[in-house]
Amino acid sequence: MVQQVLLFFSRFLSQIQRPLLQLVNVYRPVQKLIGLCALPGSQTEAEEAQFLLVVCSRVKQDPPTLRNILQIVDKPAATALASDQSQSSNHRTEPPPPPSQSDSSTGSRVQSESGLLWALLQLASSARGSVALKAFEGLLLLSALQDESSGEILSDQTLLGELLAGRLLQLYSLLPMEALDPGEVQSWPHTPWSSQFSRWSSDLRSVAAASDHMTNFFSWLDFLDHMMEEAPQVLARKLAHCVHQIWMFDVLQPQLLHMCEQVVLVSTSILCAAVRFVRSRSLLDQLVHFLLRTNTLSPLLLQRCDHISDQISFASLSLVDELLQKPHEDVLDVLVLSFLQSRSYLSPQEDRWTESNEAHEDSNGLEEDPFFSESLLFSESQLILPPPPRCSSSSAPLSGLGSAANVVNSFLCLVPVQVRSAQLIQEGGYESYVHDAHTQVTECRALSRSWNWTLSLPAPSAGEGEEFFEGPLLKVLLDRLGRVLEQVDVHLSVLCDDLPVHLCVL
């Protein structure tokens, strides 16, 4: 009987041309049918998913009906109703007791477990792919309502954010932390939420797919990220805040502070992959705030970039590298620029002129050094440009092409041949390097254009003789690069990692 009623209402609502969900005689039965969906042991999941999807489609066409479907009562109307009831009961000798906090919380919990949002969330975890897909689509239709009041209703008067973040936490708790390989997790490929439905040839999920907890977790994370991209700003901020509080703060932070190396490695690797996948501004804001603005986590993350455990060091460096590649101005400000604003790294003008003359004399001695022989510098003509014309002692240091060629040649002399990416390109190494560098700088310039970086130099620091501190990140990188000859196999991976490259380009 329920199946036939669901089919009737699905056809009726999908075929009718006029909006009807604002009528009491229509939305009341729809509310009752929604309460019968997604119950345990239901045999009509397909019909329920189709019915809920049609309801969401009708709400998409007529956003003001969202309040009726979600059974949300206006606060002024509820206040007026309560005052009328109190006036009609003035003959009572005792006033009615105020509703307790437990009663209100119970009412909210019951409403959350019998409404449209709860039903869609339950069907989204169905073992039948077609049922789950319709539930996903229904949630996206509701969250993408661009009506101004709809976003406020979903964010302030429903438990949508808590339900979605709770589902993410549930999937995360299924991950076998002790058995996961941190390297595999860190390099996990992007898993679009819709790809899980295209993988199944049959309507039922296979046992292997159901046991792939990592894929399910990242698929749901991608779904939330996609939802925040499409949702109104007020709703997107609420969803991201719920993910921050329920998953990052309550679960991830204790794991990152854990004493077990495996737990720290896996949680850091999961965060590294999550930062790489995230595209929505709201969720990226929360990730950056969690990693760089949390007093306990930010110093610890940078300290672990030079940890006694090489695995923890590389995982932490990879996480910082992923952060630097995201279009967020706070990342570079917190990690680097905040320590350079005073410009205390600059020497006085006369000291700089003395140092430049000494550097020029050292370069003359370098040419006579047998280690930097002519065969090393010019045997690979495709990699090294001829040195620029030597400047006279009375002239200022070279600028423009000459100084750029000096920098590139010096860099190529330092990088071992076996790790040069241009060594496989015949007779085009230098040009390929310069082309790649120019491409990266152009992309970075386009990325930072919206960050409103000032083009004028800041005022000089008021404190004379202030000791310069480059910041924990630059200190870690320079310290590790300074120890590159101690453990060549270990520290070369840092030297050749993308992190120093991305930092220099920025």
> Per-residue pLDDT for the chain (506 aa), expressed as one digit of tens each?
789 999 999 999 999 888 888 888 888 999 999 999 999 989 999 999 999 999 999 999 999 999 999 988 655 444 443 444 444 444 433 444 444 443 444 334 334 455 899 999 999 999 899 999 999 999 999 999 988 799 999 999 999 999 999 999 999 999 999 889 999 999 999 999 998 887 654 455 544 443 489 999 999 999 999 999 999 999 999 999 999 999 999 999 999 999 999 999 999 999 999 999 999 999 999 999 999 999 999 999 999 998 899 899 999 999 999 999 898 999 999 998 888 877 777 766 555 555 556 555 555 554 554 444 444 444 444 444 444 444 444 444 444 445 666 767 776 676 666 656 655 555 456 677 777 778 888 888 887 888 877 777 766 665 556 678 888 998 988 888 777 666 655 555 555 556 666 666 66
For 233, the token pair is: 């700003």
pLDDT of residue 84: 47
Annotate 114-136 with b (16+ C-beta within 10 A) or e (fewer): bbbbbbbbbbbebebbbbbbbbb
The two most distant CA atoms of the chain are separated, in Å, by 109
pLDDT of residue 20: 85
Residues 6+ apart with CB under 8 A from 383: 412, 420, 422, 423, 429, 430, 433
Alpha-carbon distances, residue 286 vs 44, 133, 223, 277 (angstroms): 39, 28, 16, 14
Residues 198 and 107: their CA atoms lie apart, in Å, by: 39
Alpha-carbon distances, residue 247 vs 1, 253, 271, 297, 328 (angstroms): 41, 9, 11, 15, 21
pLDDT of residue 302: 92
For 318, the token pair is: 């990879």
| Ordered alpha helix ranges (H), 341-383 | 349-368, 374-378
- Cβ burial of 24 (10 Å; 0-12, 13-18, 19+) is exposed
Residues 6+ apart with CB under 8 A from 177: 255, 262, 263, 266, 267
pTM of the model: 0.79
For 459, the token pair is: 């005022």
pLDDT of residue 364: 55
Under 8 Å between Cβ of 13 and 58: yes
Backbone φ, ψ for residue 496 (5° rounding): -95, 5
Q: Under DSSP, is residue 235 helix (H, G, I), strand (E, B) or coil?
A: helix
pLDDT of residue 469: 84
Other beta carbons within 10 Å of 399: 8
pLDDT of residue 438: 80
